Amino acid sequence: MSNKNLSLLFTGQGSQFSEMGTDFLEKFDWVKERYDISSKILGYDLLKAQKDPNLLNLTQYSQPMIFVFSSIVIDLCRDYLHKNFSKIILAGHSLGEYCALYFAESLNFEEMLKLVKCRGDSMSIVSDPSKYAMYAILKKEDLKIDQSIFGDGVYIANYNSDRQIVICGLKDSVNQFKEQNQIGKFIQLNVSAPFHSDLMRDSAKMFSDKIKNYLFKKINIDLISNHELVNYKNLSEKYYSNQLSLQIYSPVMWSDTIKKILNDEINTFVEIGPKKTLLNFLPKDFKGEKFSFCSTEDIDNV
């Protein structure tokens, strides 16, 4: 696993679970300090919140949880990856885009956690699992979906792969859509808001107002955004906050992101996050290497 072209993929919401990070706590003394600092910034005990099933899947809690976990993995492997790969391309799925920016050192840990907290708090104004729903749809083979069937409270949130999309919207509308459109297998997601849809525009405005004074550092590594596949490396750092605001209510163009990365002769993928999810969206004919860094065992094996 060296001297090759690498893409790092960073997992987003839905990958959280109550015990994530405990193996790192047991192995590294500095990880406890990371969680202590995080709890002070957030204003609550992060590890206790993880174990509360009433909080685990609420966006204002799950986003910081996932970012803190991912930051630990990043800090463990960043130097090794830079030393062993001649080229690295980054991409993060939704919240994962913030983890990618952290890997690229656009903000330090404390600054990025505060930014993620702002995002979670802003998005929580439409966080209500009794009102909204999100479903992943595993499409039937070779089925081409007519875009005109969406609307009336139902939106495409993610284009994850040629076989999977994610829809969201008002719960009653989404459930009615599910009954009326037998286009594949519907899998309900553990999230609490209609992410990456027009229903998030007020959240994006609130987030934009909160972060207008953030001073991002210009990154010098390729990082493909969910929104229109913009490369942060080609943006002025003054526009990073705007890109992140647009990302909140824009669909995640993940399938096109992976195609763009593969066109750059990438032969190794590493996924960082609580659970392996994004590697499952790679094309079946991908012949390179795939690794997930989700535990101390995963890292030790590499």
CATH number of the domain within which 160 lies: 3.30.70
Q: How many residues does the chain have?
A: 302
* Strand ranges (E), the chain: 4-10, 85-92, 132-139, 154-159, 164-170, 184-188, 222-224, 268-272, 289-293
pTM of the model: 0.95
Question: Do both 83 and 20 map to the same domain?
Answer: yes
Give residue 161's domain range: 132-188
Q: What is the pLDDT of residue 241?
A: 97
Final residue belonging to a domain, choices 170, 188, 206? 188
Q: How far apart, in Å, are the Cα atoms of 130 and each of 28, 53, 199?
A: 39, 16, 15
Q: What is the pLDDT of residue 135?
A: 94
Q: What is the pLDDT of residue 150?
A: 82
How far apart are the C-alpha atoms of 243 and 208, rounded to whole Å? 10
Q: How far apart, in Å, are the Cα atoms of 173 and each of 110, 134, 176, 183, 217?
A: 39, 11, 5, 16, 42
How far apart are the C-alpha atoms of 189 and 175, rounded to whole Å? 13
How far apart are the C-alpha atoms of 166 and 137, rounded to whole Å? 6
Question: Do both 77 and 209 map to the same domain?
Answer: yes
Final residue belonging to a domain, choices 143, 159, 188? 188
Residues 204 and 248: beta-carbon distance below 8 Å: yes
Q: How far apart, in Å, are the Cα atoms of 92 and each of 10, 129, 224, 229?
A: 4, 24, 8, 11
Question: Do both 173 and 78 map to the same domain?
Answer: no
Question: Do both 9 and 89 map to the same domain?
Answer: yes
Question: Do both 241 and 208 map to the same domain?
Answer: yes
**Cα angle 226-230-102, degrees, rounded to a multiple of 5:** 65
Residue 262 CA, chain-centre distance (Å), reads: 19
Q: What is the pLDDT of residue 63?
A: 96
Nearest to 283 by CA among 251, 249, 260, 301: 260
Q: CB-based contacts of 152: which residues, under 8 Å, 6+ apart?
A: 173
Question: Do both 223 and 270 map to the same domain?
Answer: yes
Question: Do both 39 and 156 map to the same domain?
Answer: no
- Specify the number of domains making up the chain: 2
Question: Do both 156 and 251 map to the same domain?
Answer: no
Residues 95 and 64: beta-carbon distance below 8 Å: no
Where residue 294 sits, what CATH number does that domain have? 3.40.366.10
Residues 126 and 132: beta-carbon distance below 8 Å: yes
Q: What is the pLDDT of residue 72?
A: 98
Question: Do both 241 and 278 map to the same domain?
Answer: yes
How far apart are the C-alpha atoms of 42 and 177, rounded to whole Å? 38
Question: Do both 145 and 108 map to the same domain?
Answer: no
How far apart are the C-alpha atoms of 108 and 102, rounded to whole Å? 7
* Residue ranges in the chain modelled with pLDDT below 50: none
Residues 103 and 85: beta-carbon distance below 8 Å: no
Question: Do both 283 and 251 map to the same domain?
Answer: yes
Residues 225 and 231: beta-carbon distance below 8 Å: yes
Question: Do both 35 and 95 map to the same domain?
Answer: yes
